[in-house]
Amino acid sequence: MKTSLNWIPVLAAGLGAAWLVGCASTPQESGRIRTEPFGSADGQAVTLYTLRNSKGAEARICNYGGIVVSLKVPDKNGTIGDVVLGYDKLEDYVKVTPYFGCLVGRYGNRIARGQFTLNGVTCTLATNNYPNALHGGAKGFDKRVWQAKAYDSPAGPQLVLRYVSKDGEEGYPGTLFVKAAYTLTEDNGLRLDYAATTDKDTVLNLTHHSYFNLAGKGDILGHEVMLPAGRFTPVDATLIPTGELKPVAGTPFDFTRPTAIGARINQEDEQLKFGGGYDHNWVFTKRIGDLTLLARVTEPTTGRVLEVWSTEPGLQFYTGNFLDGTITGKGGWVYQHRNAFCLEPQHFPDSPNQPNFPSVVLKPGQTYRNTIIYRFAVK
């Protein structure tokens, strides 16, 4: 076993059998996981976990918001580089963040006017993206300190995060027990497995919000995107779906063949105008729960390729339209308009108010599951 002063062996203290059992890890010591203090939030100590695989890939994740602070993968020449935006310090994440690298919940994306009705009862949420609710409210899962434990699992170094969201937190009914397990796999995948249970009927839509730039600099307009989806959910001016599932054919939303992000992003198009670029949900024809490819992105200069796989039926593709040069991130990079993109596997936005969209209701006795994989390769 490789150990050094920095690479502290992590002793897994059992399988966390208390709730949501199912972690396939073997508790053992590991040289693939390093921990270090990362400051504090809400009066609680926050830890930064560094996971490494044998291919030189490295993910640094903290237990505040489950934020992926950095993600380093090789380019076509074998040079390892960071492909996500974020900050060097926890205090910057606490101060202001456009959801850099975080776990998103209870409801990823928007709920119209911050209201929905469940079993005849109207639930009221913070309209933190006026006039709508966005990404779990004023203090969503991205701003919570999660319980954390690292494991050297057979699939790779793993960080298991747990959070208990109280009944009524941010306006959502039911006590929710959430587990989010990140695993850095040997095939350079960062895998996220969510599981959740509730003690009352509730709604749930968890996702992940890394901002990717596969070149590690500049804008993302030259990245080529392929989305194997025939339809998307058009939105109104506040980015709430109209309810229509619109064919992408003949529109700037057709990414069924690899196309540069910048090729059509400035076209005269009402949907692009509403989003300020791409900020829409693509619809996949699949059985929900089946792990399928939702996106492949290629960056021509570095040869880096990102594939997104998920069990979810939708994918929010957001092109960093709100980045405007007001945030200085890691290494002094000033994040300008469209310096990154997000690919957020999810159920469709505003599903609690859209009877024709797949249901996001979770009931006691059921276990919510959602797997998201960001896998890196070169071309």
Which residues are tagged catalytic?
Answer: 209, 344
- The yes or no reply on residue 64 touching ligand GLA (CB under 6 A) is no
Judged by CB under 6 A, the number of residues near ligand GLA is: 11
Residue 58 or 279 having the CB closest to ligand GLA: 279
The interface with ligand GLA within residues 250-279 (CB under 6 A) comprises 279
Q: DSSP character for 239? A: S
Q: Which residue has the tokens 């492909």?
A: 83
Nearer to ligand GLA, 110 or 375 (CB): 110
Residue position matching structure tokens 């992590």:
10
Q: Is 19 in the site for ligand GLA (CB under 6 A)?
A: no
Instruction: For strands 224-226 and 292-298, give the pairing.
Output: antiparallel
- Distances from the Cα of 260 to the Cα of 82, 141, 203, 359, angstroms: 21, 33, 35, 33
Q: Which is nearer to ligand GLA, 238 or 366 (CB)?
A: 238
Identify the residue among 316, 319, 346, 354 touching ligand GLA (CB under 6 A).
Answer: 316
Instruction: Note whether 206 and 194 are within 8 A (CB).
Output: yes
Closer residue to ligand GLA, CB minimum distance, 177 or 318: 318
Residue 109: phi and psi, rounded to 5, are: 80, -165
Q: Would you count residue 318 as binding ligand GLA (CB under 6 A)?
A: yes
| Binding test (CB under 6 A) with ligand GLA, winner from 20, 196, 265, 342 | 342
Largest CA distance in the chain: 59
134 is an interface residue for ligand GLA by CB under 6 A:
yes
What is the closest distance, in whole angstroms, from the C-beta atom of residue 126 to ligand GLA in the complex? 14
Report 227-246 residues binding ligand GLA (CB under 6 A): 239
Q: Which of residues 176-215 bind ligand GLA (CB under 6 A)?
A: none
Which span (258-266, 315-323, 326-334, 370-378) binds ligand GLA, by CB under 6 A?
A: 315-323
Measured at the CA of 315, the angle between CA 313 and CA 321, to 5 degrees, comes to: 165
CA dihedral over 330, 40, 106, 157, signed as positive or negative? positive
Task: State how far the Cα of 190 lies from the Cα of 172, in Å rounded to an integer.
Answer: 29
* DSSP at 90: H
Give least dist CB 208 to ligand GLA, A. Answer: 11
Which residues, 6 or more positions from 193, have their beta carbon under 8 angstroms from its beta carbon?
Answer: 179, 180, 181, 183, 369, 370, 371
Contacting range for ligand GLA; rule: CB under 6 A; set: 86-94, 174-182, 266-274, 314-322: 314-322
Q: Interface with ligand GLA by CB under 6 A: which residues?
A: 98-99, 109, 134, 239, 279, 316, 318, 322, 342, 344
